[in-house]
Amino acid sequence: MANNFRAIGATTFLAPIPAVMLSCRGTEPGFDRDNLITVAWAGVVNSDPPMVSVSIRPSRHSYAQILQSGAFCLNLIDQPLCRAADFCGVKSGRDIDKFAEMRLHAREIEGFPAPALDEAPAFLCCRVKQRIPLGSHDLFLCAVEQVYVKDALFDADGSLHMGRANLVSYAHGEYFPLKPRPEGFFGYSVAREDVLRRRLGAPKPAARRTPGKRNGRR
């Protein structure tokens, strides 16, 4: 049976996307207070060296702060931080101290000019390398200088378990919690049964298409 689709126009429909809060601090009077902004457009753009991108409207208070300092922290958001993330996305740092309003705490990073969010399960220290005006937003291409992850997400042997972080994603104007148990892992579709059992608790056979005719063609 054929699937039916409906055209909805050219729009930013990519989903899900990470829900992250960007923490920053400017260097000039009026911009030198610790600030938080929730950014919808953020992602990884390069592996070696590690780089990320964020897109911010030039009218935002945080935009000037980032231009002044050239740095910020990207803070991952867990479920307890979801309300604060929404608040920091609709309120301006020009008018209020968002850390104080949400009873959150800025964390200083030695040798780095921007604060982190102490309540975040993990954060990335980012340094701006390039700014590209695109239209409604400017794209910042940034080098990741360091990543910090809470000890609670590690086992005694050093294994990292992101399922414990209770992260939140964003899709079409709504926040969605990620399931703590993964559906798979990179390469699981071709992994041996013993690896599947060790990583997932039970074999998860990959669905396979049976070769055949479709719409009269092979």
Judge whether 65 lies within some domain. yes
> Mind listing the pLDDT tens digit for each residue in 120-142?
999 999 999 999 999 999 999 99
The Cα 125–Cα 76 span in angstroms is 12
Looking up residue 73, the CATH number of its domain turns out to be: 2.30.110.10
Judge whether 193 lies within some domain. no
The count of other CB atoms within 10 Å of the CB of residue 195 is 14
Confidence bin at 217 (pLDDT 50/70/90): very low
Q: Which two tokens stand for residue 125?
A: 């220290």
Judge whether 68 lies within some domain. yes
Judge whether 188 lies within some domain. no
Judge whether 62 lies within some domain. yes
Q: Return the closest-CA partner of residue 140 out of 28, 52, 76, 46.
A: 52
pTM: 0.86
> Mind listing the pLDDT tens digit for each residue in 84-98?
999 999 999 999 999
Residue 210: predicted pLDDT: 52
Report CA-CA distances (Å) from 37 to 57, 181, 212.
Answer: 11, 29, 51
Residue 79: partners with Cβ closer than 8 Å, 6 or more residues away: 166, 167, 168, 177
Judge whether 73 lies within some domain. yes
Please give the residue range of the domain that contains residue 173. Answer: 17-177
Minimum mean pLDDT among 32-36, 92-96, 177-181: which range? 177-181
The Cα 212–Cα 177 span in angstroms is 38
Query: Count of domains in the chain?
Result: 1
